Structure 1
Amino acid sequence: MKKVVVGCALAVGLAASAHAATTVMSAAPSESWTVTNYYKQSVYDPKENKIGDVDDVLVDKAGKVTGLVVGVGGFLGVGEKDVIIPFTAVKTAKKNDKWWLTLDETKDNLKSAPGFKYDKASTTWVPEKK
């Protein structure tokens, strides 16, 4: 009986250590970026005029970043409109030791784009109703 208990304990210990090894990485994946390169960063047009700030980063169920929610217009957040742009539309560069995000759009173009609001009940962005 003692051998069975010891054998079970050993099996549980091995299974637990094997499980831990598959859920923890020993290094960051190569070619991975941190969300902080985007989240709360300013976005500029090609002429270096500020368009707005990234308010959210949208990720699909597979973990792929699909879009950015950018707040445009307003002053200090008042009157601001949130629009969603495809992640692939944003260009990144390093400028003065900071990530520099650009988009081939103007602030006025984005102000006329459909707006979105965050719905806490569904935890997703939904179109604004006008």
Structure 2
Amino acid sequence: MRKLLLTTTLALPLTFGAALAQDTAPAADPAMEPADSAPMADPGAAPATDPMAETTTEPMEEETDAAEAAAAASAAEKVEVEQAANEWRLDWITGTNVTSPDGETIGAISDLIMDGETGEMKAAIIGVGGFLGIGEKQIALPWADLTVNSDAQEITSDLTQEEAEAAPEYVFRDQAAAAGDMADPAMGTAPAADPMATGTAPAADPMATEPAADPMATEPATDPMATEPADDMGAETPAPAN
């Protein structure tokens, strides 16, 4: 009986202390608890595909490809794609020598004249005579009278060397001014004169007047001591009267 009471007496303080400690422990602050985090992604796993990126990229690429294909088809109908076997480049023709029927060189083609309305080639300009381009004259041979062979590497004419030297020189015209550079015929009045270009003579600069004569530069007065002495020695002394 005594042991039972002694055991009960020792157990009560321990039980009471544990209960007191449990009651006095601070409650956990919900604000301090970390938010629920998503589970850690596996580094080795492939990233998830964004469904919005797939739905927006593919239609844009399809629209771009369709626009490029339409532009290419439209351009193919408006441009020339390949040079034909019977077509020549102008730089093949310019610089090529033109020969006479007997094989003499008349001159080299320096320019071409074409019809601005029909686009037809009208004439070839050839430099005749001179030496190294100095003193030569320019004559025009009708394009229809020229025979072009071997992709414009050989050009012949029915004009002889003598006829080429005696032919009149071709007269070029001046190129017309662009529409924006032409004067308006309604504006027939002459442009206002530049006030700085008026014909009135500018006022004389008072600072540019001739300086007054230097008083030190005037001729000195005649020195009275420098006057010529009377020539008494040369004058005859009258003889005294008897």
Whether these two folds match at TM > 0.5 is yes
Paired residues for 1:98-117 under 5 Å: 99-116=153-170
Does the 8 Å contact 1:52/1:107 carry over to 2?
no
List runs of 5+ in structure 1 lacking aligned partners.
1-8, 124-130
Q: Tell me the residue number matched to 1:71.
A: 127
Distance 2:154 2:84 in 1: 23
Distance 1:98 1:33 in 2: 7
Q: Percent identity among equivalent residues?
A: 28
Provide closer, same or farther for how the CA distance between residues 114 and 36 of structure 1 changes in structure 2, counting only shifts above 3 A. Answer: same
Does the 8 Å contact 1:73/1:107 carry over to 2?
no
Per the TM alignment, residue 52 of structure 1 is displaced from its structure 2 partner at its CA by 0.5
Distance 1:93 1:86 in 2: 16
Per the TM alignment, residue 84 of structure 1 is displaced from its structure 2 partner at its CA by 0.6
Q: Tell me the residue number matched to 1:32.
A: 87
Does the 8 Å contact 1:51/1:72 carry over to 2?
yes
Cα displacement string for residues 16-75 of structure 1 (whole angstroms, at most 9, x for unaligned residues): 555423332222245322223321101111111111110101121222211100110111
Distance 1:33 1:23 in 2: 20
Q: Tell me the residue number matched to 1:81.
A: 137
Paired residues for 1:1-130 under 5 Å: 13=67, 16-17=71-72, 19-29=74-84, 31-61=86-116, 62-94=118-150, 99-116=153-170, 118=172, 121-122=175-176
- Between 67-76 and 113-122, the greater mean CA deviation after superposition: 113-122
Q: Which runs of 4+ in 1 moved over 6 A?
A: none
Distance 1:121 1:92 in 2: 29
Between structures 1 and 2, the one with greater helix share: 2
Provide closer, same or farther for how the CA distance between residues 86 and 80 of structure 1 changes in structure 2, counting only shifts above 3 A. Answer: same
One-letter amino acid matched to 2:136: E
Q: Tell me the residue number matched to 1:128.
A: none
Per the TM alignment, residue 118 of structure 1 is displaced from its structure 2 partner at its CA by 4.5
List runs of 5+ in structure 2 lacking aligned partners.
1-62, 178-242
Q: How many pairs does the alignment contain?
A: 112
RMSD value, Cα: 2.9
